[in-house]
Amino acid sequence: MKVLLVEHDDAVAGPLIDGLALYGILADHVATGAAALAAPPTDMVLLDAALPDADICQRLRSTVGAPLIVLTAGEEGTDRAQALGADGYLPKPFSVRELVACMRAVGSRSRPAPVQTCGPLTIDTGTHEVRVHKIPVPLSPKEYDLLALLAQEPGAVVPRRHILERVWGPAFPGPGKTLDFHVASLRRKLGDPGWIENRRGIGFRLAIPV
């Protein structure tokens, strides 16, 4: 995924860009709304609502059709986001993890097709059918939920804790070997361990086997 970060403060933008990179998200940075209009096409716009020319990003959204998330401070966040025609907003201060979760939620709502694809892998989110090279792959409910979560952003690293909370629930007692067991089973059923890559100490990502 590639995003455009519109933020006037380099001290804020730098850590955000580095943090997003840990999740496999590439961020281009510009400091003004005017510069955003001249930027290359992107998958999503992250906009600092405090910019003097923030309103100009409405034109960017209508031009390229990219979802817009407003990053704002104070209780006026909802009104400001709505005024800018945003798909979501996140009040400051926030963690990179919270931002990524917001981005994924917005991306999921903005995705028009019920079928996710990653090379020869297809996931029908309506019927919960999974196929590799058009051949059905029978999965358990947890295996499907795990695969569907990783497939929301192919190539992006999803932290272990986030996977456990999303697939097994926030009350899940601890890491244990549950996640690793399901990853191993999923790799076996997909027919190639290269489908799910492990980033030691961080999490897992969906990739097309070489």
Q: What is the full per-residue pLDDT of the chain (210 aa) written as tens digits?
A: 789 999 988 898 999 999 999 888 889 999 988 888 888 888 888 988 878 776 776 666 666 567 888 888 765 556 666 656 678 888 888 899 899 988 888 887 665 557 788 889 999 887 889 999 999 999 999 999 999 989 988 888 988 888 888 888 766 666 568 899 999 999 999 999 999 999 888 899 999 887
Q: What values do phi and psi take at 44, rounded to 5?
A: -160, 150
**What pLDDT does 60 receive?**
66
**What pLDDT does 62 receive?**
60
List of residues 6+ apart from 156 with CB closer than 8 A: 1, 23, 24, 25, 205
**What pLDDT does 196 receive?**
95
Q: What is the DSSP letter of 56?
A: G
User: What's the fold here for domain 2-110?
Assistant: Rossmann fold (3.40.50)
Give this prediction's pTM: 0.54
Q: For residue 207, give Cα distances in angstroms to 22, 53, 136.
A: 15, 39, 19
List of residues 6+ apart from 124 with CB closer than 8 A: 114, 115, 130
The CATH number, out of the four listed (2.40.50.140, 1.10.10.10, 1.10.1060.10, 3.40.50.11540), of the domain defined by the range 115-206: 1.10.10.10
- Name the residue ranges covered by the structural domains of the chain: 2-110, 115-206
What b-and-e string marks burial along 41-59, b requiring 16 or more CB atoms within 10 Å of the CB? ebbbbbbbbebeebebbbe
CA 210 – CA 180 distance, rounded (Å): 22
**What pLDDT does 164 receive?**
86
Q: For residue 70, give Cα distances in angstroms to 12, 14, 113.
A: 15, 18, 25
CA atoms within 13 A on the CB side of 153: 26
**What pLDDT does 20 receive?**
92
Q: Among 72, 89, 95, which Cα is nearest to 23's?
A: 95
